[in-house]
Amino acid sequence: MQTDTEWERWAVLAEAAELYYLKGMQQAEIASKMNISRSLVSKMITEAQHKGIVTISINHFFRRAEDLESGLRDRYGIDAAVLRLPRGFGHDEIKKQLGRFSADIIYSRLEPGSFVGFTFGTSLKEAVDALALKPPLSIAAVQLAGSLGASEAAFDSHELVHKLSSSWNCGSVYLHAPYIVSSEEIRRQLFKSMSNNQNAEACKSLNAAVVGMSSFDSRSSSALYAGGHISAIDMKDMRARGIIGDIGSFSLDDDGKLIEVDSLTRMVAFDEKSWKSVKNRFGIAFGDSKIRIIKASLKGGWLTTFITDEQTADKII
């Protein structure tokens, strides 16, 4: 509960903020009206933001490449959202803008009271960061893969679920395990624990899931490599078996078929049956290094909605 002094301070800050933001007065005019210095007005406006008296919302306007969206639907039979960006954007800026765009698409499909799952990936992280800034929804965020142990938050499903659940003050269902364990038996034992059993049940009730994609054509794109779970030699061996990348925890060939590998039986993550039963399966990816895994994911029916940028979409139609 606020004291009288705190309440009075709050009221003064709110008055200064209202004059500045809603009535469009200059700081000098506010200083004169409130009989204070101009520098104090500036400090009060900043303090009003920090205390949450003022909240600022920025509405990004995104242009969609509807012709390419139609082309993707016709070729792959999936829903597509393609972002059209001005020329000259670098890789990092495209990723950030695509994350915001993806957040808009995903947010519009979320149903209150539903379970929503997340894996990991740099593009997916940007989407979660943007989702966290939106008005909260009463969902439960579900971790779909064990921790990769990478230093970068983008490669840790636990961190992404925590970011969204703490920002929205909503439910969360974690998977308390590393991404890959030493044996299939250890994997089975982990899922027998009470908390992980709850995760397995939540995965069966998912209304939506969001996944990133890793390419084995590029070490920098592979989450498994980034997390230290496979070596460059391992990647070479997997490529020799026809594996071109993975979506979520599924290793695919160019036709989108699941390739069984030893590590797959040791991965602590959702299974194929649970994944393909999810109503809304979102995939986010862009860039030349992801072209093959994107095509494979779409050919294999792993996604219901694919979100990308204009340049990437043009290369996969």
* pLDDT tens-digit series, residues 119-165: 988 999 999 999 998 989 999 999 998 877 655 666 788 899 999 99
Architecture of domain 4-50: Orthogonal Bundle (1.10)
pLDDT at 147: 77
d(CA 190, CA 19) in angstroms, rounded, equals: 58
The band of 263, judged by pLDDT with boundaries at 50, 70 and 90, is low
What SS3 class is residue 296?
A: helix
If you average pLDDT over residues 53-82, what whole number do you get?
88
How many Å separate Cα 180 from the centre of its chain?
A: 21
Residue type at 45 in one-letter notation? I
If you average pLDDT over residues 112-124, what whole number do you get?
93
- Residues 47/49/51/52 CA torsion (nearest 10 deg): 160
Q: Which residue is associated with the tokens 């995939």? A: 283
d(CA 285, CA 184) in angstroms, rounded, equals: 30
d(CA 154, CA 125) in angstroms, rounded, equals: 5
The band of 232, judged by pLDDT with boundaries at 50, 70 and 90, is confident
If you average pLDDT over residues 27-37, what whole number do you get?
94
Delimiting residues of CATH 3.40.50.1360 domain(s) in the chain: 63-316
Closest CA to 208 of 312, 111, 77: 111
How many Å separate Cα 282 from the centre of its chain?
A: 10
d(CA 97, CA 127) in angstroms, rounded, equals: 9
Say which DSSP state 288 is in: G
Instruction: Write down the pTM of the prediction.
Output: 0.78
| The CATH number fitting domain 63-316, selected from 1.10.3720.10, 3.40.50.720, 3.20.20.140, 3.40.50.1360 | 3.40.50.1360
Surface-to-core class of residue 25, CB atoms within 10 Å of its CB (0-12 exposed, 13-18 middle, 19+ buried): middle
Delimiting residues of CATH 1.10.10 domain(s) in the chain: 4-50
